[in-house]
């Protein structure tokens, strides 16, 4: 089953000083945190904040190429989580023929923001990952967690103290 998500915001992990992309389900309150690179976070944040650069960033360039070639991007999907690495696909539509292209989730989301593509996460990915809700005290039983207990506690502490009002970049 595919769960429709939106980009909830970009936050900084105060422990590692790494950006975290937060995806939130549209019809629920689960939040999927994905640690991403600084360049990808910059690209996503620039679009969220409608910052224009004199020259196109890589994801803007890709959108320009897609537009020129008549390629549509109907959706992106985070399809797997293996050894703490997320995998995504970008679905492209060329004259009615759809093709799935392997991508990093951060690149796929940056493209989706620029093209209006829908964002989905497979339910099994949410089950494999450490998923949080906007009300962190609600725990779901039986979810398989990839992180160690120490990592889970550290992440839980970070995410519980994150206030969406303080996100540097948010939707």
Which SS3 state, helix, strand or coil, does residue 168 take?
Answer: coil
| CATH number reported for the structural domain that contains residue 61 in this entry | 3.10.690.10
Residue 105, phi-psi category: left (phi > 0), alpha (psi -120 to 50), beta (remainder): alpha
Burial class of residue 3, CB neighbours in 10 A (0-12, 13-18, 19+): buried
The mean pLDDT value for 71-75 works out to 98
The average confidence (pLDDT) of the chain is 84
Let me know: does 28 contact 1? Beta carbons within 8 Å.
no
Measured in residues, the chain has a length of 171
Burial class (CB in 10 A: 0-12, 13-18, 19+), 57: middle
Instruction: List the domain range (segments joined by +) for residue 140.
Output: 2-170
Mean pLDDT of 12-30: 90
Q: End-to-end CA distance of the chain: give it in Å, rounded.
A: 25
Q: How far apart are CA 2 and CA 26, in angstroms?
A: 12
- In Å, what is the CA distance from 85 to each residue of 47, 104, 123, 136, 159? 24, 9, 16, 24, 19
Rounded Cα distance, 155 and 20, in Å: 11
- The pLDDT value given to residue 147: 46
Per-residue three-class SS string for 16-54: CCCEEEEEEECCCCEEEEEECCHHHHHHHHHHHCCCCCC
Q: What are the tens digits of pLDDT across the range 48-63? A: 999 988 999 999 999 9
What total of structural domains would you count in the chain?
1
Please tell me the distance from the alpha carbon of residue 47 to that of residue 59, in angstroms, as a whole number.
10
161, pLDDT greater than 90: no
**pTM: predicted TM-score of the whole model, two decimal places:** 0.77
């Amino acid at each position: 089953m595919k769960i429709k998500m939106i980009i909830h915001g970009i936050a900084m992990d105060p422990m590692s000083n790494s950006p975290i992309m937060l995806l939130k389900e549209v019809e629920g309150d689960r939040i999927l945190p994905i640690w991403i690179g600084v360049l990808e976070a910059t690209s996503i944040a620039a679009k969220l904040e409608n910052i224009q650069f004199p020259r196109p960033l890589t994801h803007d360039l890709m959108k320009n190429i897609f537009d020129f070639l008549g390629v549509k991007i109907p959706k992106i999907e985070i399809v797997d989580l293996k050894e703490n690495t997320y995998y995504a696909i970008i679905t492209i539509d060329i004259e009615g023929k759809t093709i799935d292209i392997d991508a990093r989730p951060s690149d796929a989301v940056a493209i989706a923001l620029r093209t209006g593509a829908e964002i989905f996460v497979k339910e099994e990915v949410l089950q494999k990952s450490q998923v949080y809700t906007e009300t962190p005290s609600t725990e779901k039983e039986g979810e398989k967690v990839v992180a160690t207990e120490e990592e889970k506690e550290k992440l839980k502490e970070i995410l519980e103290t994150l206030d969406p009002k303080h996100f540097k970049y948010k939707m």
